[in-house]
Every structure is written in structure tokens, then in C-alpha cells.
């Protein structure tokens, strides 16, 4: 059986998944996320899908590492971001390419093909306000949160809560502290809402959930504590250490319920832990995990590969 990966030819997790599929006895189709950027031939032709000239409708299971999205090209000049002169043409081209890829994924989902994760779970259901709503609904504790473009309301929240952090509604940027300088610039948020939350202290836990199984749970340890562990040069450079953590069954169950309601069959769940206190931050549909796997031997890739393969076998039988 042939299984697919929407990913990158040089992406370590895509390559690890290909190797895992092959260990299970399957061949692999790698659909490169930048294929259309490079002008590689991809077509829909009378209900059939062709990738680089080959019909690929025999593939009944895919691991989704990357899904293209439209973007406006920018460059950094004098500590400012500036758009390319032809940014609009570029943006419209990336929008068309992203629309093609998402349409492909939606057609696969409509046909019953196994997708880990399906496109809706990796797009609209990844919006942070919705995730907070889901987490509350399953009984998980989340930080005190205000999502607003009202500077006065934010000042009142800050006065009531004390230490406050902020981050984008859509994600894609590091968490920052609402300090004196940020408070002075609050009038800027009238243009778009921002997530403001109480600062929660404790260990940074990353939970890897595959299907209903918690395959890995680690505390991320870096030389210096940051508001956002992604900002630590040690983490970005692959020098973070990981300590295995055993979650209470009740917390595991909250992870399962939240992922299920967000449509995620694979989830990287971020939690702050202090003693018996577990505060959920967010769920990630395409989590970075390979460093944990390599350092601690947690079989994350294998579990994902088996999830895709078993789903593909059922989909092929039904087809």
C-alpha cells in the first residue's frame, strides 16, 4: 500500500515519517508543500488528481506536516518590515496555490481518505479563542483570559490580574509580557483584538497525543526560563533537555476530549504545571516533536505512521 505525506523534501519530520512508513512495508508519496511555488505540474482532471504527471488517487492515507497558506512577502530593512514592490501579485499567486492544495485535501476528506490532521482541524479549529472555549467545556483549567481591542478594558484586566502576557489571536508570534512599555502602546490594539492572559508559572509541558494515546509527555528544560520556551536560543538550537512527566488520568482524559472536539487525531498540547496544578494553554495540529523522540526514544513517529496506515487500510476497503 502507498501512503502519502504533505511535507518537505528536507523537513526532518517528513523524512522520519517516510522511513516509518517504509519500516511498516509501505511505499510513500511525498507531496512537497512548495511544489506549486516551484512550478511542478499538479492537476485535477475530470475527478482525478495528478501530481508531477502521475495519478495519485490510490493513496488512502496522508500525514499532513505542512499545508500552504497565502502570505504577503516582506523584507526587513532598518528594523522595519517592508512589502516587496510586487507584493500584491505574489500574494494573489500564493492564495491561488493555497486554495488548490486545500481543495485537494478537502476532496480527499470527502472521499474518506485518512488525513492526520484533516484541513479544518489545522486551520479554523486552530484559532486560539475557540480552543480556550473547548478546553473550558471539557473541564480543563485555562489562564484568566481577555481577548479584546479595547485598551481601557485591558488596563482594568491588568490591574485586576497583575502579571499579564499577550499573544496574537491567530498565533505565529512569541508570547510577550504586558510591561510598562507595552501598556503605553495599548491604543494600537484598536485595529485588531489581542489575547491577554494571566502569567502562569510552572514547568512547560508538551503532551503528544496520537489517536487516544498519550505517547509522550515531557517538561521542556532550558538554561533560562522564558515566557515562551520557543524564544530560548537553546530550544531553537536543539539544546533543550527533556524530563519525562507522568500525567494524572484526569488530565489525560481532558487532553483526549479537547483534541477530539477540535477534530485532531494528532495533537501537541501545551500545559503549564506546578505541583498538582495543570493549566492548559493550547493545542497544535502539526507539532514539532522529533527532538524529544531522538533524545528520549519516545515512539511518536511510529505511532503516527501506524495511525495513518490503519486508517488508510479501512479507507481502501470502503472505497
As a whole number, the mean pLDDT across the chain is 91
What per-residue confidence (pLDDT) applies to 121?
Answer: 78
pTM flag (> 0.85): yes
Residue 105 has pLDDT above 70, yes or no: yes
> 125, 132 in Cβ contact below 8 A?
no
pLDDT at 233 over 70: no
pLDDT-based confidence at residue 70 (cuts at 50, 70, 90): confident
Every domain of the chain and the residues it spans: 2-117+307-318, 124-140+201-285, 145-198
Who's near 261: CB < 8 A, 6+ residues apart? Answer: 134, 137, 138
Distances (CA, A) of 92 to 16, 68, 97, 241: 33, 13, 9, 42
Q: What is the predicted pLDDT for the residue at 81?
A: 81
What's the CA gap between 82 and 107, in Å, rounded? 37
Kindly report, residue by residue over 296-316, the tens digit of the pLDDT.
999 999 999 999 999 999 999
Q: How far apart are CA 83 and CA 81, in angstroms?
A: 7
pLDDT tens digit sequence for 5-46 = 999 999 999 999 999 999 999 999 999 999 999 999 999 999
**Least reliable range by pLDDT among 76-85, 104-113, 163-172, 245-254:** 76-85
Is the predicted pLDDT of residue 117 greater than 90, yes or no? yes
Name 129's bridge partners: none
- Above 90 in pLDDT, residue 236? no
Fold match between domain 124-140+201-285 and domain 145-198: no
Beta strand pairing status for 176-177 and 164-167?
antiparallel
User: CATH classification of 145-198, choosing from 3.30.1490, 1.20.5, 1.10.3470, 3.30.70?
Assistant: 3.30.1490
Q: What is residue 273's predicted lDDT score, i.e. its pLDDT? A: 96
Q: For the domain made up of 124-140+201-285, give the CATH fold.
A: D-amino Acid Aminotransferase; Chain A, domain 1 (3.30.470)
Report the topology of domain 2-117+307-318: Rossmann fold (3.40.50)
Among 150-159, 174-183, 263-272, whose mean pLDDT is lowest?
174-183
pLDDT at 258 over 80: yes
100-114 as b/e: b if 16+ CB within 10 A: bbbebbeebeeeebb
Q: Which grid cell is 239?
A: 539544546
Amino acid at each position: 500500500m502507498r501512503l502519502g505525506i504533505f511535507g518537505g523534501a528536507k523537513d526532518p519530520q517528513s523524512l522520519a515519517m517516510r522511513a516509518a512508513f517504509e519500516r511498516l512495508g509501505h511505499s510513500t508519496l511525498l507531496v512537497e508543500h512548495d511544489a506549486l511555488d516551484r512550478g511542478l505540474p499538479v492537476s485535477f482532471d475530470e475527478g482525478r488528481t495528478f501530481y508531477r504527471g502521475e495519478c495519485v488517487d490510490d493513496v488512502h492515507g496522508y500525514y499532513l506536516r505542512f499545508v500552504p497558506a497565502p502570505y504577503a512577502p516582506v523584507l526587513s530593512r532598518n528594523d522595519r518590515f517592508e512589502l516587496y514592490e510586487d507584493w500584491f501579485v505574489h500574494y494573489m499567486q500564493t492564495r491561488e496555490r493555497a486554495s488548490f492544495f486545500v481543495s485537494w485535501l478537502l476532496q480527499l476528506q470527502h472521499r474518506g481518505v485518512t488525513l492526520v490532521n484533516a484541513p479544518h482541524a489545522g486551520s479554523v479549529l486552530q484559532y486560539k479563542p475557540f480552543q480556550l472555549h473547548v478546553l473550558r467545556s471539557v473541564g480543563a483549567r485555562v489562564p484568566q483570559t481577555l481577548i479584546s481591542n479595547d485598551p481601557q478594558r485591558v488596563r482594568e484586566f491588568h490591574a485586576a490580574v497583575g502579571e499579564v502576557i499577550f499573544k496574537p489571536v491567530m498565533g505565529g508570534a512569541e508570547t510577550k509580557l504586558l510591561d510598562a512599555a507595552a501598556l503605553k502602546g495599548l491604543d494600537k490594539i484598536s485595529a485588531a483584538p489581542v489575547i491577554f492572559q494571566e502569567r502562569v508559572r510552572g514547568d512547560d509541558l508538551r503532551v503528544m497525543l496520537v489517536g487516544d494515546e498519550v505517547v509522550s509527555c515531557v517538561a521542556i528544560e532550558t538554561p533560562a526560563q522564558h515566557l515562551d520556551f520557543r524564544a530560548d536560543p537553546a530550544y531553537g538550537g536543539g539544546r533543550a533537555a527533556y524530563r519525562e512527566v507522568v500525567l494524572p488520568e484526569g488530565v489525560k482524559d481532558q487532553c483526549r476530549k479537547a483534541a477530539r472536539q477540535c477534530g485532531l487525531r494528532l495533537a501537541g498540547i501545551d500545559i503549564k504545571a506546578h505541583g498538582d496544578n495543570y493549566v492548559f494553554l493550547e493545542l497544535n495540529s502539526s507539532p514539532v516533536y522529533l527532538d524529544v523522540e531522538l533524545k528520549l526514544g519516545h515512539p511518536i513517529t511510529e505511532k503516527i505512521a501506524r495511525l495513518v496506515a490503519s486508517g488508510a487500510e479501512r479507507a481502501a476497503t470502503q472505497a
